[in-house]
């Protein structure tokens, strides 16, 4: 029986420190992912990698495992995650994988997998471990060919996002993989581009490549102010998430970026549907209703987001984390979303004025409560026994989101650390205090953090 550390398989992808995600583990995952693809009737598979120091060897071993399963593998080389999605959808039967640690520290890495056009997560991802432990592998004689997907990706992306006028834009690639293609993309759109930290460097020497953390956007804010740019765009380590800094220096949270896109999309397609994850502000649903559209809360996670996007024919879907996917582009792509922001500005949208016109709520910072047992079991127990006297409804698709007429509370288990993550939001301070009290009572006897 082959050995594999099952903790490698998270909710949405494979991810761990590189002492656990070894080249041998990548090879076995390649054998299992190849088996899944072959048994579904697929023959081709795309593989890309980010700029982490461990990625070339992990990608090589992943490819070896896929090839031994009998697949024709297209080696994309250095590629952002959305470029792998693009290659998989249009070149390899919807099958592909990218070796990437996303926004995690340098000693982490991971693998995101597609099968038949669907991003693999949850039980299907965990089933790869079953195949490995049983050594139940498809066997064949495959092949490997290299493919530079960048030209086709950039051409198609630009064709969908022509700008009405050139813009001055600052992009912060955080030494992630987007440094290899994002500057060229925005220049192709006609922009004057100032690039920050565009050298792909797996040490991430300047700042952590996570665009939803304000501390990581300080340099971008400073350069936007210095240069008088129209906007600043930031990307995570593998290019599937977006951060935005307006010309005034305002950092736009992920759910507010979604609200910007909801306005643009609903102006073009009235009555359309918008998806937001359970972590996002209640302002999203209020805003979409004001604009004449419909919306729904979905489970957090890019796998869930893309699945529901396809099922509902939604115009756009987004998460608080900055994952954003458009119906016409089919997958989450920070560089594509950045182009759509530029398209809005070039057409005359003042981002700051539009943000000021949106519903405004007060909220707590994210609250983390340590737990000594499985967090999902704790949340399930709370959902069964707790009462929320002034609530209007409960959403249980991903943790417990308690809806109120004037706000919401969220109790959710982290998928990566042994904590419950809480979020509170309301129309005013008094409502926030009331919701806080109900949520505090619900999680007792777990202590409420006082800092």
Could you read off the pLDDT of 271-308 as tens digits, one per residue? 999 999 999 999 999 999 999 999 999 999 899 999 99
pLDDT of residue 450: 76
Under 8 Å CB-to-CB from 298, ≥6 apart: which residues?
275, 276, 277, 278, 304, 305, 308, 317, 397, 398
CATH at 368: 3.30.310.50
Helical residues (DSSP H) of 243-402, grouped into ranges: 254-268, 283-290, 302-312, 334-346, 351-356, 375-385
pLDDT band at 414 (very low <50, low <70, confident <90, very high): confident
pLDDT band at 248 (very low <50, low <70, confident <90, very high): very high
**183 shares its domain with 55:** no
Determine contact, residues 237/50, Cβ cutoff 8 Å: yes
Range of the domain at 25: 6-149
**223 shares its domain with 267:** yes
**204 shares its domain with 308:** yes
**179 shares its domain with 102:** no
Per-residue pLDDT, averaged over 202-207, amounts to: 96
| pTM over the 0.85 mark | yes
Last residue of a domain, one of 356, 375, 410: 356
**CA angle, 286 as apex, 284 and 290 as ends, to 5°?**
115
Q: Is residue 308 part of a domain?
A: yes
CB atoms within 10 A of CB 166: 13
**188 shares its domain with 56:** no
**Catalytic (active site) residue 357:** no
Is 451's pLDDT higher than 80? Answer: no
pLDDT of residue 416: 73
CA quadruple 398, 399, 401, 402: dihedral, nearest 10: 140
Which tokens hold the place of 135? Answer: 């050594």
**Chain segment 91-135, per-residue pLDDT in tens:** 999 999 999 999 999 999 999 999 999 999 989 999 999 999 999
Is 397's pLDDT higher than 70? Answer: yes
**186 shares its domain with 46:** no
Which tokens hold the place of 368? Answer: 């983390």
CA distance 219 to 95: 37
Which tokens hold the place of 362? Answer: 């007060």
CA distance 434 to 266: 34
**368 shares its domain with 352:** no
Determine contact, residues 88/94, Cβ cutoff 8 Å: yes
Determine contact, residues 272/339, Cβ cutoff 8 Å: no
**279 shares its domain with 379:** no
Q: What percent helix, strand, coil does the chain show, rounded to 5?
A: 40, 25, 40
CA distance 77 to 180: 12
Is 380's pLDDT higher than 80? Answer: yes
Residues in the chain: 451
**137 shares its domain with 171:** no
DSSP secondary structure code for residue 329 in this structure: T
Q: Is residue 450 part of a domain?
A: no
Q: Is residue 449 part of a domain?
A: no
Q: Is residue 156 part of a domain?
A: no
Last residue of a domain, one of 149, 175, 207: 149
Of 102, 280, 285, 295, which one is the catalytic site residue?
Answer: 102
Determine contact, residues 179/197, Cβ cutoff 8 Å: yes
Last residue of a domain, one of 328, 356, 384: 356
Q: Is residue 222 part of a domain?
A: yes
CATH at 134: 3.40.120.10
**102 shares its domain with 197:** no
**392 shares its domain with 349:** no
Mean pLDDT of the chain: 96
CA distance 305 to 303: 5
Number of domains forming the structure of the chain: 3
Tokens 């879907």 belong to residue: 317
DSSP secondary structure code for residue 168 in this structure: E
């Amino acid at each position: 029986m082959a050995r594999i550390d099952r903790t490698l398989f998270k909710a949405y992808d494979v991810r761990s420190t590189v002492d656990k995600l070894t080249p041998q583990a990548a090879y076995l995952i390649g054998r299992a992912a190849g088996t899944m693809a072959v048994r579904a009737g697929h023959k081709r598979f795309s593989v890309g990698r980010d700029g982490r120091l461990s990625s070339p060897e992990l990608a090589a071993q992943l490819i070896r495992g896929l090839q031994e399963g009998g697949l024709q593998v297209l080696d994309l080389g250095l590629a952002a995650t959305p470029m792998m999605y693009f290659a998989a959808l249009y070149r390899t039967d919807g099958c592909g994988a990218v070796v990437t640690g996303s926004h995690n520290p340098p000693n982490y890495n991971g693998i995101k997998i597609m099968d038949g056009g669907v991003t693999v997560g949850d039980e299907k991802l965990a089933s790869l471990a079953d195949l490995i432990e049983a050594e139940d592998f498809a066997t064949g004689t495959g092949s490997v060919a290299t493919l530079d997907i960048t030209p086709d990706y950039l051409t198609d992306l630009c064709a969908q996002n022509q700008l009405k006028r050139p813009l001055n834009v600052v992009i912060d690639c955080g030494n992630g993989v987007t440094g290899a293609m994002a500057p060229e993309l925005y220049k192709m759109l006609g922009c004057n581009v100032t690039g920050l930290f565009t050298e792909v460097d797996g040490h991430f020497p300047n700042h952590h490549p996570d665009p939803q953390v304000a501390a990581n956007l300080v340099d971008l804010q400073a350069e936007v102010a210095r240069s008088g740019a129209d906007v600043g765009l930031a990307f995570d380590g593998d290019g599937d998430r977006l951060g935005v800094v307006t010309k005034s220096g305002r950092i736009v949270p992920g759910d507010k970026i979604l609200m910007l896109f909801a306005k643009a999309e609903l102006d073009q397609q009235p009555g359309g549907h918008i998806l937001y994850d359970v972590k996002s502000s209640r302002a999203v649903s209020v805003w979409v209703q004001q604009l004449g559209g419909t919306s729904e809360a979905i489970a957090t996670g890019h796998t869930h987001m893309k699945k529901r996007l396809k099922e509902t024919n939604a115009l756009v879907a987004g998460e608080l984390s900055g994952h954003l996917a458009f119906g016409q582009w089919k997958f989450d792509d920070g560089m594509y979303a950045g182009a759509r922001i530029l398209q809005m500005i070039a057409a005359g949208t003042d981002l700051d004025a539009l943000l000021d016109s949106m519903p405004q709520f007060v909220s707590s910072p994210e609250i983390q409560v340590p737990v000594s047992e499985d967090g999902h079991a704790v949340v399930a127990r709370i959902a069964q026994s707790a009462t929320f006297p002034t609530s209007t409804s409960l959403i249980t698709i991903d943790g417990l989101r308690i809806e109120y007429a004037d706000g919401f509370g969220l109790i959710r288990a982290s998928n990566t650390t042994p904590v419950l993550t809480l979020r509170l939001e309301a129309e005013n301070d008094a409502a926030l205090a009331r919701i806080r009290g109900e949520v505090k009572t619900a999680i007792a006897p777990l202590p409420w953090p006082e800092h």
